[in-house]
Amino acid sequence: MLKELESKLKAIDQELEHMADNSHSPAQVLMRRQLERNRKELLEAIAKSLTPADRVYLARHPKRPGVRDYISYLFTDFLELKGDRGCKEDESILGGPAFYKGIPVTVIGQCKGRNLEENLKYNFGMPGPEGYRKVIRLARQAEKFDRPIITFIDTPGAYPGLEAEERGQGEAIAGCLSVLSDIRVPVIAIVIGEGGSGGALALGVANTIIMLENSIFSVLSPEGFASILWKDSSRSDEACELMKLTAGDLLDFGIIDYVIKEPPGGAHRDPGQVFQDVAILLEQEIRKLTAVGKEELTDARYKKYREMGKL
Amino acid sequence: MNPFKERKEHLFTLKTMQRKGKQVKKVKKQEQISESLLVNCPKCTNSYSKATLSKLYYVCPNCGYHYKISAFRRIKLIADPESFVEMNRFLTGNNPLSFPGYREKLNVLQDETGLVESVITGTATIKKIKAVIAVLDSRFLMGSMGVAVGEKITRAVEYAAEEKLPLIIFSASGGARMQEGIFSLMQMAKTSAAIQRHGKKGLLYISVLTNPTTGGVTASFASLGDIILAEPGALIGFAGPRVIEQTIKQKLPEGFQSAEYLLEHGFIDKIVERKECRDILALILQLHEKRNEITC
């Protein structure tokens, strides 16, 4: 359904582009207006009819704004720091200090590529143990210099590869969970695209968890879920329904704290609006959390996870 | 405690006892037959009677294969006789995603295994040293971690922190429980945070990895031990071998993700045969007793 509407939209966009060169006659101006109206209606129809599977599609959209886009809009003087100090540099994790409205913060995020070349560089947004150990290193550094940590989550999951296993993927993720759980600075996590499995949660132990409307956060990818439960990864659409992985579901469950609305058709249709909304929320949360005592901060974080799915 | 919850737990106890009553008879019959029946070793295909195996700690005398054993048998093998006191036995989870057929599946497993969930927690002494113990049981939904499992482990860890007791967790798990979705995932954060707090008090945590330990359990409490032990030949990893093969599109080398492989790569401290486990655990506990408690 969504893909159908999207292709119609694309056709209109192409037509509009084509008209842009020679659209001076009154008839053409009228036609142009009509097309623009159709376009708006289509976008609204898309926004209204989104199924969980559609949201998964939007969360993975190649044009969806990634961590680099957020960093360049939200922060100034971002200084990228590299390496885990143990084995190698993992490009799928991007991080370092920056200013947020004059306040020094540490930013850590997962990178995905927009084309094949970038995707190879960022390993399709799937970090290895070195990436997670870089997270631990940067988080400890943030704690030392008393900088709030802001994480951007966007990964299908941790990389399931031979070398990743050899170098302790599980241990590295577990390390992130335990370090972030009691770090003595505020942690704010924002799910901007895919939040897949333990590989996403490793950046998701936070005082405040924010999700974009069409981002997802789940125990496993819908394909993996279908493959484990029904031995059939093609039933992923069914899995999307069952898994309750949308921002709205997770807000209802009390797992996350805020949902940021996206423009009709997804964040990539008007990134500026999304960045602005993120900026407002981020400022509110940074102000709120930096006013809290350190002990209270870690206790609140502990309590937050302690009460998820309370029995 | 809230009286409604207490009542609910009481009713649940009665229900499981009723079910178990039926079950006990069935199991006994089966056991009488199976005592004399031969069991094939999955590795070397030699066969032994169950009676022989039980004397041998359920380890194949020919090839050393460690059979999967139940949580209760595990506790019997390591704890001082009669010392185990179970905690939160009847704690169960809900069906937070309203996953079709999940409740029924749990009921069937409860009947079949006599377990209420896939982990047993409690306190016991090992050579007279008291410790909090949690043991996962792979017969119950692959030892997977849902809310109840995460909660039982967290309560056990918090109890250990409160009472200043060392902690031992035997893992055997396929990871996070799919049927409870995101709630299962969050148990990774919850249990890891509890372990971190226990550790900050200067208390000891021994993690023992048994066959299999994978997924969200490997990526949380199982990897956070001050000392990490493993049983010989146990499969230990984050991603399952099938997923890795599909990703990298090649066959995995022999022994990949085995306990021996992890030892070689620096992720565990020691491989411990089942028959030595009690002695090794006791030694580690003794080495970590508080100095002022040692009498010369």
Same domain, A69 and A45: no
Give pLDDT, residue B24. Answer: 45
Same domain, A41 and A103: no
Same domain, A222 and A140: yes
Q: Which domain holds residue A75?
A: 61-306
Mean pLDDT across A225-243: 90
The more confident residue out of A23 and A113 is A113
Which of A12-16, A90-94, A269-273, B174-178 is the least confident region? A12-16
Cα atoms in the Cβ-side hemisphere of radius 13 Å centred on B183: 26
CATH architecture of B69-295: Alpha-Beta Complex (3.90)
Token pair listed for A292: 């809290």
Q: CB distance A311–B218 less than 8 Å?
A: no
Mean pLDDT across B85-92: 95
- Find the residue in B nearest to A307 (Cα): B190
User: What ipTM did this prediction achieve?
Assistant: 0.93
Q: Report yes or no: B186 at the A interface, CB cutoff 8 Å.
A: yes
Residue from the list A162, A177, A204 with its beta carbon closest to the beta carbon of B220: A177
d(CA A28, CA A32): 6
Q: CB distance B237–A229 less than 8 Å?
A: no
Q: Which residue has the tokens 């089966």?
A: B30
pLDDT in tens, A111-125: 999 999 999 999 999
Same domain, A273 and A241: yes
Rg over CA atoms, chain B:
19
d(CA A179, CA A165): 21
Same domain, A197 and A153: yes
Q: CB distance B186–A164 less than 8 Å?
A: no
pLDDT in tens, B176-222: 999 999 999 999 999 999 999 999 999 999 999 999 999 999 999 99
User: For residue B208, which amino acid is it?
Assistant: V
Q: Which of residues 130-149 of B touch A (CB under 8 A)?
A: 147-148
B188 CB neighbours in chain A (<8 A) are 174, 177, 198, 201
Token pair listed for B202: 């200067």
Nearest C-alpha neighbor of A250 from the set A263, A260, A262, A235: A260
Let me know if residue A269 belongs to a domain: yes
Let me know if residue A54 belongs to a domain: no
Closest approach of chain A CAs to the CA of B176, in angstroms? 7
- Which of A135, A169, A176, A177 to probe by mutation at the B interface, max B CB count within 10 Å? A177
Let me know if residue A133 belongs to a domain: yes
Give the DSSP letter string of A80-141. -----SSS---TTEEEEEEEETTEEEEEEEE---SSHHHHHHTGGG---HHHHHHHHHHHHH
Nearest C-alpha neighbor of B152 from the set B210, B97, B86: B86
Residue from the list B178, B193, B237 with its beta carbon closest to the beta carbon of A219: B178
Residue B209 · residue B175 · CB < 8 Å: no
**B212 contact partners, CB below 8 Å, separation of at least 6:** B138, B172, B173, B174, B234, B235, B236
Q: Report yes or no: B39 at the A interface, CB cutoff 8 Å.
A: no
Q: CB distance A198–B186 less than 8 Å?
A: no
pTM of this structure: 0.91
Here the CATH number for the domain that contains residue A259 is: 3.90.226.10
Same domain, A244 and A268: yes
Cα atoms in the Cβ-side hemisphere of radius 13 Å centred on B96: 28
Most confident of A19-33, A217-231, B40-54, B192-206: B192-206
Same domain, A65 and A45: no
Residue A151 · residue A113 · CB < 8 Å: no
A304 CB neighbours in chain B (<8 A) are none
Let me know if residue A124 belongs to a domain: yes
Cα atoms in the Cβ-side hemisphere of radius 13 Å centred on B157: 28
Same domain, A153 and A117: yes
Same domain, A100 and A195: yes
Give pLDDT, residue B25. Answer: 46
Let me know if residue A217 belongs to a domain: yes
Same domain, A167 and A298: yes
Residue A302 · residue A206 · CB < 8 Å: no
Closest approach of chain B CAs to the CA of A44, in angstroms? 29
pLDDT in tens, A150-194: 999 999 999 999 999 999 999 999 999 999 999 999 999 999 999
Token pair listed for A100: 């947020």
d(CA B23, CA A220): 35
Q: CB distance A243–B181 less than 8 Å?
A: yes
Domain segments of chain B: what residues? 29-67, 69-295
Q: CB distance B188–A198 less than 8 Å?
A: yes
- Find the residue in B nearest to A132 (Cα): B219
Which of A263-272, B136-145, B200-209, B286-295 is the least confident region? B286-295
The strand pair at A208-212 and A149-155 is best described as unpaired
Closest approach of chain B CAs to the CA of A105, in angstroms? 23
Q: Inform me whether the pLDDT recorded for B296 exceeds 80.
A: no
Q: CB distance B243–A160 less than 8 Å?
A: yes
Residue A75 · residue A98 · CB < 8 Å: yes
d(CA A243, CA A225): 9
d(CA A240, CA A225): 9
Token pair listed for A157: 């999951």
**B105 contact partners, CB below 8 Å, separation of at least 6:** B141, B179
Q: CB distance A174–B222 less than 8 Å?
A: yes
Let me know if residue A56 belongs to a domain: no
A222 CB neighbours in chain B (<8 A) are none
- Which of A184, A218, A219, A232 to probe by mutation at the B interface, max B CB count within 10 Å? A219
Instruction: Domain count for chain A, please give it.
Output: 2
Same domain, A43 and A70: no
Same domain, A70 and A33: no
Give pLDDT, residue B5. Answer: 65
